[in-house]
Copies of this chain bind each other. A is one copy, B any other.
Amino acid sequence: MRIGLMGFGTVGSGVAHILHHYREDIAKQTGGDVHIARVLVRTLERPRGTLLDDAVWTTNADDIVAHPDIDLVIEVMGGLEETRALIERALRAGKPVVTANKDVVARYGAQLCAIALEHGCDLFYEASVAGGIPIIRALAHSYASDRITRLCGIVNGTTNYMLTRMAADGASYEAVLKEAQALGYAEADPSADVCGWDAARKMAILSTLAFHAEVQLDDVATEGIDRVTQADIAYGAKLGYTVKLLGTAARVGQRVTVSVQPTMVHHAHPLASVHGVFNAVYVYSEAIGAAMYVGAGAGSLPTAASVVADVIAAVRHNRLGVSGKTWSRELPLRTLLPEEEVRGKYFYLLSVADRVGVLAQITDLFARIGVSLQSVLQQSPQLDGPVDVILITHETHRAAHAQCLEALERLDAVEHVKSVYQVLDA
């Protein structure tokens, strides 16, 4: 099998390393040699090590997606529209494609899968979500006999690293962001990570598989970690919670709801102890119950190992003559659960006037809307200034939560609502 590799950055060089290093093992499993025949790069100027022959490098995508000597295409170059077009051309030319590109899969996954199906090729994308965790394969195969009702994931390592550091050292958001940038975990423009967009793409991919219905990127209600403060983390800890950027997807009857938002996760929940750049996906299903998958979320070798596992599967399918027949299938569009019907627990941090009766006014407000409270914590007052009050509700509809929020903001005694979080209990 002659592979055309598009992209030779962190993941691409990892793929070359693994295909070289485990060449014999891979040949045993696929029944033949699997090697890189062409590599698409932006420029031929840069030195690229000695692992690959001088003849492999090209700056012309046609040498890969349109060339008869290429049997399988690996796409690890990033990008969106141009890359999608290249993947489509490869599939239309009958070449199986393995990609690690979450942007392309989240936006065009269903469309590209249909093209793959039509042309009898495999399109695999295990590495597009949580690099070192085989969650795509698990959702596609191991849950074939079950019905997933809820899925929670820590699917962005950069923000999990930042939140872990903020919780451990009391460092500020700005300080840990700089640190993450210095370590290469965060980009110069960190928005895709800290605004939750990267996590949203992954949740769209996971929930499409989990619910057998196409969840689009715009369906994911997305909020980042850029407003998470030290105070939120400290008060959360006092009440037994850790702040995590959590992707949540739930099925209610035939309707689904998917979000990415900073969440107060109870210490006793297994997701609370997933630290640093690790990723984790927690799956609840009717038959199996709770299961959790934890592993490296990114990095050259973990991601490349997922890419190559997909390559091995695609090569086997090719040799058995079943390419494109094993798990591509067309998916219906999802129906979204209306916002107001989504159920959840909420955490409020309020700044209130320090006078008698304020707490009673607030708890009365919740009672009138019909939202019951699980905990109320009032900070000991400072000289003269306002005091912080933290409230955690029991489960309620989002509509009731919105009503509480609006009423709180109108209440004279409430100076302002400092933060609001979703809550996940154990």
Chain A contacts to B: CB under 8 angstroms: 14, 18, 22, 25-26, 28-29, 126, 132-134, 137-138, 141-147, 212, 270, 273, 285-296, 299, 301-302, 304-309, 311-313, 316, 320-322, 325-326, 329
15 residue pairs A–B, Cβ–Cβ below 8 Å: A18-B146, A18-B287, A22-B147, A25-B212, A26-B145, A132-B288, A134-B142, A145-B312, A146-B305, A290-B295, A290-B296, A291-B295, A292-B293, A294-B294, A320-B322
By beta carbon, the residue of chain B nearest A320 is B322
> Across the interface, which residues of B come within 8 angstroms of A312, CB to CB?
141, 144-145
Contact assessment for A305 and B320 in the assembled complex, using a CB-CB cutoff below 8 Å: no
Contact assessment for B291 and A294 in the assembled complex, using a CB-CB cutoff below 8 Å: yes
Complex CA–CA separation, A311 to B305 (angstroms):
28
> Across the interface, which residues of B come within 8 angstroms of A147, CB to CB?
22, 25
By beta carbon, the residue of chain B nearest A274 is B270
Complex CA–CA separation, A329 to B304 (angstroms):
25
Q: A145 with B295: in contact, given A132-B289, A137-B138, A316-B326 (CB under 8 Å)? A: no
Complex CA–CA separation, A267 to B305 (angstroms):
29
Complex CA–CA separation, A289 to B312 (angstroms):
19
Contact assessment for A137 and B145 in the assembled complex, using a CB-CB cutoff below 8 Å: no
CB distance from A375 to the nearest CB of B (A): 24
Contact assessment for A292 and B289 in the assembled complex, using a CB-CB cutoff below 8 Å: no
Complex CA–CA separation, A185 to B359 (angstroms):
48
Complex CA–CA separation, A313 to B311 (angstroms):
19
Partner of A287 from the list B137, B146, B287, B305 (CB cut-off 8 Å) is: B305
> Across the interface, which residues of B come within 8 angstroms of A322, CB to CB?
320-322
By beta carbon, the residue of chain B nearest A304 is B287
Complex CA–CA separation, A142 to B136 (angstroms):
10
Contact assessment for A287 and B313 in the assembled complex, using a CB-CB cutoff below 8 Å: no
By beta carbon, the residue of chain B nearest A292 is B294
> Across the interface, which residues of B come within 8 angstroms of A295, CB to CB?
288-292
Complex CA–CA separation, A18 to B145 (angstroms):
7
CB distance from A270 to the nearest CB of B (A): 7
> Across the interface, which residues of B come within 8 angstroms of A299, CB to CB?
289
CB distance from A55 to the nearest CB of B (A): 25
By beta carbon, the residue of chain B nearest A286 is B301
By beta carbon, the residue of chain B nearest A305 is B287
Given contacts A133-B291, A322-B322, 12 further A-B contacts (CB under 8 A): A141-B312, A144-B309, A144-B313, A145-B305, A288-B295, A288-B302, A288-B306, A290-B295, A291-B293, A291-B294, A294-B294, A316-B326
> Across the interface, which residues of B come within 8 angstroms of A308, CB to CB?
144-145
Closest 10 CB pairs of A and B: A145-B308, A291-B295, A134-B142, A287-B305, A287-B301, A132-B288, A292-B294, A145-B309, A144-B312, A146-B305
By beta carbon, the residue of chain B nearest A17 is B287
By beta carbon, the residue of chain B nearest A25 is B147
Contact assessment for B144 and A29 in the assembled complex, using a CB-CB cutoff below 8 Å: yes
Contact assessment for A288 and B301 in the assembled complex, using a CB-CB cutoff below 8 Å: yes
The listed residue with most B CB atoms (<10 A of its CB), out of A141, A145, A290, A306, is A145
By beta carbon, the residue of chain B nearest A145 is B308
Q: A141 with B137: in contact, given A270-B273, A287-B304 (CB under 8 Å)? A: yes
Partner of A296 from the list B26, B286, B291 (CB cut-off 8 Å) is: B291
By beta carbon, the residue of chain B nearest A126 is B142
The listed residue with most B CB atoms (<10 A of its CB), out of A137, A295, A321, is A295
Contact assessment for B288 and A270 in the assembled complex, using a CB-CB cutoff below 8 Å: no
Complex CA–CA separation, A290 to B305 (angstroms):
13
Complex CA–CA separation, A308 to B147 (angstroms):
12
Contact assessment for B291 and A132 in the assembled complex, using a CB-CB cutoff below 8 Å: yes
> Across the interface, which residues of B come within 8 angstroms of A287, CB to CB?
14, 18, 301-302, 304-305
> Across the interface, which residues of B come within 8 angstroms of A22, CB to CB?
145-147
> Across the interface, which residues of B come within 8 angstroms of A326, CB to CB?
316, 320
> Across the interface, which residues of B come within 8 angstroms of A302, CB to CB?
287-289
Partner of A143 from the list B291, B309, B325 (CB cut-off 8 Å) is: B309
